[in-house]
Chains A and B, each alone.
Chain A
Amino acid sequence: MEVTAIPSRIRKKFIDEILDMYASGEVSAGKASEMLGIPRATFYQLLSEKEIPLPAKLEKSIKRELKRLENES
């Protein structure tokens, strides 16, 4: 049986879909990298290349952490 590679436009669409899911907070970086079958560090490189911002929920969580740190000082 001949195995053909996944066409690049479909692969691109799949990657974009996962990146959208990450950006909207639907999946974490861990889950997204698992779905793409790549290490988490590679996923972060992908986020950098595509200039994907942090998900809103994570942003809020970091803001809370910084607020607590500010109050500690």
Chain B
Amino acid sequence: MKSLYKTVIICPSVYNEVVEKGWGLPGSMETETAVREGWVRIVDVVNKWKAREIAKEKRIHMANAETIQLARETNPDFVLADEEEVRSLAEEDDFKIRGCLGILVDGVRKKLISISDAKKEVKGLRASGYRMSDEILKAFYDILKSLEKR
């Protein structure tokens, strides 16, 4: 991710959830290291009232509402999200979305990871609870196959 995206910004509530509450769990140490290295930056939303309004109106989790509000305030190239409620709101706002599969495709395209490593990562994702359907897996493999031919 460091090579793919120059800077990743997250709001404090996401950092808190992943690193502080989730210390020792997958992703916590990686996020902490990335923040220390400086390529993941913690940026607070300016309009917190608006974030609270999104959370209330759309009945979504506060960290997700802050992610959307932060995107609206910073206009990023991509919104990185695997939560449906973030993705649907980001789509409404015409942001480009990248979930973990999209990030892997970008990594393969830029030759940062091999196709076999991308496949291994997906198997790991499934094993860790991100249980996508066979249909999605097939679509993902088809994209990798088309990249293999290049």
Name A residues whose Cβ lies closer than 8 Å to a Cβ of B: 25, 28-31, 34, 39-49, 51-55, 57-59, 61-67, 69-70, 73
Contacts and interface: CB of A to CB of B under 8 A. Distances in A.
Interface of B: 17-18, 21-22, 25-28, 60-61, 63-64, 82-85, 87-88, 91, 97-99, 101-102, 105, 109, 127-133, 135-136, 139-140, 142-143, 146-147
A30 B25 CA distance: 15
Given A57-B88, A65-B97, A73-B109, A51 B132 contact: no
Q: DSSP majority for the A interface? A: helix
22 contacts: A25-B84, A29-B83, A31-B61, A39-B17, A39-B21, A40-B17, A41-B26, A44-B26, A44-B129, A44-B130, A47-B130, A48-B128, A48-B131, A54-B130, A58-B83, A61-B87, A61-B99, A63-B135, A64-B91, A65-B97, A66-B101, A70-B139
